[in-house]
Amino acid sequence: MIKTAIFDLDGTLFVGKTVVPGAAEALERLRLAGIKVFFLTNAGTRTREGVAHKLTNMGLQAVEEEVYCGSYLVAKYIAANFPRKKAFIVGEPGMAEELKAADVPVAEHADIVAVCLDRHLTYEKLAKAHRLLKKGAEFIASNKDHTFPTEHGSMPGAGSIVAALEFSSKKTAHVIGKPNPFAFEIMKKELGLNEEETVMVGDRLDTDVMFAKNAGIKSALVLTGISKKEEIKEKRITPDFVFPSVAELTLP
């Protein structure tokens, strides 16, 4: 029996600024049934608090403790594996805030380059990151998502920025977000989750469903975002459940 449902955000609960019809009701239905609800996004542009605030403003009830986002996960990883090391950020304020909260110093001259989506990316910032990587800095990314969905179609994701730096520096980024199961390891430690009782609900085969497989949990694909049903056979990534949207979500 499923006791915990972890939801991806963009493409699953909303697309751009538009909530998927029935998403709020689906979350409420699960909570009333005694199923714990959490949110897991590769996005590193906001803090946990910022993501919870955004969801609540969209009519999707959430509190900070239910949110696991790219910025928080990168901060946890750096704090645990590179104590006292400084980080240079290619990203937005949410990443800097989570790093500071984890006592990771943020600096121009750094030992680590931390990358997430940066919608204000400049060539100067890219060049600084490149120089640090060439000097031996660690390369850590929130995710390699190629795109993210909007009301106007897909837009370049954090993966496009990571790819530019990988190409120029000849270094490969260590990716913290989905499909890396690191997030579930943190959630197990902080929340006491059980693999057999947990499902990941998302819109991408290559991140959400693969994350579930890597973490040893069940997966549910919704068709409101990036991946389409015909891609299941093409990519040979098979979710446990497939639903047109979260509005139709039913769990055993």
pLDDT in tens, 168-216: 999 999 999 999 999 999 999 999 999 999 999 999 999 999 999 999 9
In the chain, list all ranges with CATH 3.40.50.1000: 4-42+178-248, 80-175
H/E element, 235: helix 231-235
Relative orientation angle of helices 70-81 and 93-101, to the nearest 10 degrees: 40
CA dihedral angle for residue 166, residue 170, residue 174, residue 178, rounded to 10 degrees: 40
pTM: 0.93
CATH class of residue range 4-42+178-248: alpha beta
Pairing of strands 153-156, 147-150: antiparallel
Residue 149: is its pLDDT beyond 80?
A: no
CATH superfamily of 80-175: HAD superfamily/HAD-like (3.40.50.1000)
| CA separation for the pair 56, 228 (Å, rounded) | 28
Rounded average pLDDT over 118-143: 97
Residues designated catalytic: 8, 10
